[in-house]
Amino acid sequence: MQHYKKIGFGGGCHWCTEAVFQHTTGVHEVLQGYIAAEGAYADFSEGVIVTYNPSVISLTQLIEVHLHTHQATVSHSFRKKYRSAVYYFEQEQKASAQAALQELQQYFQAPIITKVLPHVQFSPSRESLQNYFRKNPTAPFCERYILPKLAKLKERSLITSTKGDIPFCVR
């Protein structure tokens, strides 16, 4: 029997984040929508819930994929809509995510601004927005924003392919 875990990610457009994780080996399901945490982060921000197999891909590897596919070091004016975050479901994930961010900082010149926050609430995107890249791989948005992210991951050896529904392999 396979044992899956869930983790949430926010950082950029959820169309992009959804596509990246849909093509990552070890990821079973990606739900696109809006995530809320607590306190100052209780408002909804675009994000995804990733269900993954920890015996195939580690939380650190998932966070690495996430950091390299959005502006994880930039505090821009759209951060309320595109909060850079890892949303944990289990308390043990909090410490693991914080440790992963510290470990991965060495690959970035500027400080990583990604927050580690509790997952409190999720609201899915409307059906027409879900699986956007799979439904529209040649759409201008996908060609301009999603394909370069996938190519960047391939270049960094985080995935092995950027064509079709071929599963991508995380290093």
pLDDT per position in the chain (171 positions), as tens? Answer: 679 999 999 988 888 899 999 988 889 999 999 999 999 999 999 999 999 999 999 999 999 999 998 889 988 777 678 899 999 999 999 999 999 999 999 999 999 999 999 999 999 999 999 998 888 888 888 888 888 888 877 776 666 554 444 344 433
Burial of 89 (0-12, 13-18, 19+ CB in 10 A): middle
What is the structure's pLDDT at 12?
Answer: 83
Q: Quote the CA–CA distance of 32 and 130 in Å, as a whole number.
A: 6
What is the structure's pLDDT at 70?
Answer: 87
What is the structure's pLDDT at 160?
Answer: 52
What are the extents of the domains in the chain?
5-155
What is the structure's pLDDT at 158?
Answer: 61
The catalytically annotated residue of 13, 16, 142, 169 is 13
The CATH superfamily assigned to 5-155 is Peptide methionine sulphoxide reductase MsrA (3.30.1060.10)
Active site residue 169: no
What is the structure's pLDDT at 166?
Answer: 37
What is the structure's pLDDT at 154?
Answer: 76
Sheet holding 115-118, edge to edge: 115-118, 85-88, 5-10, 45-52, 27-36, 121-124
Handedness of CA 170, 29, 12, 60 (dihedral sign): negative
